[in-house]
Structure 1
Amino acid sequence: MYMSPGQDMPSMSNDTNNMKKTIMHSSLYWGKDAIVLFPRWPENSVGMYILALIFVFFLAMAIEVLSNQPLLKPGTSPLVGGLIQTSVHLFRISFVYMVMLAVMSFNAGIFIAAVVGHSLGFFVAKFRALAVANREDKGSSSI
């Protein structure tokens, strides 16, 4: 910033009316006034808070489904198999860190959405694995 000689420095006043105060909680709390992953999101909006809950829920579900993925088919190239597993791992770990950061908002609703999402995702992944195992057992017993 260029200032001509004799010009005073601009004043640095703390105008608290223009600044929005952010409260950082260190214990679980209820309410839509949370900061989840991004600044000003959900920003005191009930609709955006519900969207944040749904987003965290589905991220947690995706983590469990990706964690319990079936093994690669026999005969898959080691390079292709490694690349597939690495890319799935990349997404899974990215989702894990996003859910962890969301839970660190200390909002009880976000915490419950993450726990229920993990639980339902685990159920879906195990149900699918058991269905595949039962299908394979029926197929091998008919031979």
Structure 2
Amino acid sequence: MDMMNMTMNSTTMTMQMSFYWGRNVTILFSKWPGNDQHNPGMYILALFFVFAIAFAMEPLSVWPTIKPSGSSVVAGLAQAFLYAIRISLGYFVMLAVMSYNIGIFIAAVAGHTVGFFVAKASALSITKPPGPEPSF
């Protein structure tokens, strides 16, 4: 048996071990998004799903969870809960990228990039002191 084929319960599963283009991909769940070459809708949905997960990770990384008036135990639990969600989303994106599909990879990188931009731009607008804009 070579490295590309794995036998599981008398069925053969082929795993891609290098980047490739194409809609015939399985990510996160078996038979999802499917391999119907005539209907690209599920593949496009998978791209949006990976983009959304990667996007959601970035605001969670800058979201303030500790309130000065709250209990330290409650604040710690809230922060731990958000951390668990962020790490879970990160593992989902990692597993999706491990499908080695270039479209999924681009969707993940684009989601992280847009999410980073939105999260940092909103964080900077909150911390920006009021006053006139500097003119150059």
Measured against the shorter chain, the TM-score band is 0.7 to 0.9
Which residue in 2 is equivalent to 1:74?
A: 68
Which residue in 2 is equivalent to 1:8?
A: none
Q: Deviation at 1:76?
A: 1.9
Q: Is the 8 A contact 2:19 2:102 kept in 1?
A: yes
- Aligned-residue sequence identity (percent) comes to 53
Which residue in 1 is equivalent to 2:34?
A: 43
Q: Deviation at 1:20?
A: 7.7
Q: Is the 8 A contact 1:70 1:129 kept in 2?
A: no
Could you state the TM-score of these two structures normalised by the residue count of structure 1?
0.77
SS in 2 for 1:110: helix
Q: Is the 8 A contact 1:60 1:115 kept in 2?
A: yes
For the aligned residues, what is the CA RMSD? Answer: 1.7
Which residue in 2 is equivalent to 1:25?
A: 16
1:4-23 to structure 2, matched below 5 A, reads: 22-23=13-14
Cα 1:124–1:68, aligned 2, differ >3 Å: closer, same or farther? Answer: same
Q: Which structure is higher in strand share? A: 2
**Which aligned segments of 4 or more residues in structure 1 are displaced greater than 3 angstroms?**
19-22
Could you state the TM-score of these two structures normalised by the residue count of structure 2?
0.81
Gaps of 5+ in 1: 1-18
Q: Is the 8 A contact 2:59 2:116 kept in 1?
A: yes
Structure showing greater Rg: 1
